[in-house]
Structures are given as C-alpha cells and as structure tokens.
Amino acid sequence: MGEEMKVIVFGLADEEYGIEVDKVRTIERMMPITRVPKTLSFVKGVINLRGVVIPVIDLRGRFGLPESEPTDGSRIIIVAVNDLEVGFIVDTANDVIDIDSDTIDTPPEVVGGIKAKYLRGVAKIGDDRLLIMLNLSEVLNKSEIIQLEQQEA
C-alpha cells in the first residue's frame, strides 16, 4: 500500500479533479472579483479575503476549456503553493476523500482536453470513478506566478 492522502474533489466541465488537502487553505463561495488590467485572460482579478488580497484564476480558462458563467455551485478554492495564495474558480467542490498514492497512474497525454503537464496523474477510485490529480506547481508555473506577484506589488 502507498500512502493515504486526503484529497479535495472538485468538478470542472464534467470531470472530477483532486487537490491534496494540505495545499488547500479554504473553499469559498463566489464573491466579487476585482478585475486587474493587463493580465492573462484566465486571471479573473483579485478578491479580498479577510484582509488578504488573493489573485483568482478561472481553471477552465487556464486549461483552455470553454469558460462558463458562475452558478450557485461555483466555488473558489484557495490554494497555497510556494508561499503564494491563489484562488481557483471551479464548477463544484463538494467532497473530501482518502486515496492511496499507489492508485495514481501517470496521466495520458491529454485528459479531458487538458495537457498532461498540468496533471500529476489519474487516481482510480472504486470501479468506475477517475479522479484527475492536478500538478499545482505547473498549473501556477513560475512565469505566471511572477506576473501575479507583480500585480500585487
């Protein structure tokens, strides 16, 4: 058996994704997002969360999926990577599950239209459920993080 890991499950365009719980700070309902000029199209702007300004990325846009209007189910998942806090807009976020790290397979080149570099792997859960594990450091790759940090400055 590999290590048990706790994973937050979120939905995006009919697929289920996972992020390790220890990378997630909090999950918030949609809130007003302040647009920031001259940013990449998937950077929606910033939110003020309890006095902290956090950049928000639309994960659909980040992955090149069609963007959609937020719904009642939409959530902003606040993640922390390399001392940077960033919010991801997702369609739903509803579940915390335990998975065994041994069940994570290398991702195929493209999953759900998303390039493999953004993915850590695909976890099999039960007989018919696949969970696409994100590679957060690549989703927030350095050059883009630098752009985000410059906005905050």
Q: Would you say how long the chain is, in residues?
A: 153
Q: Which residues have C-beta within 8 Å of that of residue 63, sequence separation ≥ 6?
A: 12, 113, 114, 115, 118
Q: Which residue has the higher pLDDT, 112 or 7?
A: 7
CB 141 within 8 A of CB 122: no
Domain membership of residue 152 (yes or no) is no
Domain limits at 105? 4-144
Residue 95's CATH number: 2.40.50.180
Name the CA dihedral angle for 79, 85, 89, 95, rounded to a multiple of 10 degrees: 20
Q: pTM for the complete prediction?
A: 0.84
Q: What is the pLDDT of residues 47-65, one digit of tens each?
A: 999 999 999 999 998 888 8
Domain membership of residue 68 (yes or no) is yes
Token pair in block for residue 51? 């006095």
Half-sphere exposure of 115 (CA within 13 A, CB side): 8
Q: Which residues have C-beta within 8 Å of that of residue 141, sequence separation ≥ 6?
A: none
What is the average pLDDT score of the chain? 85
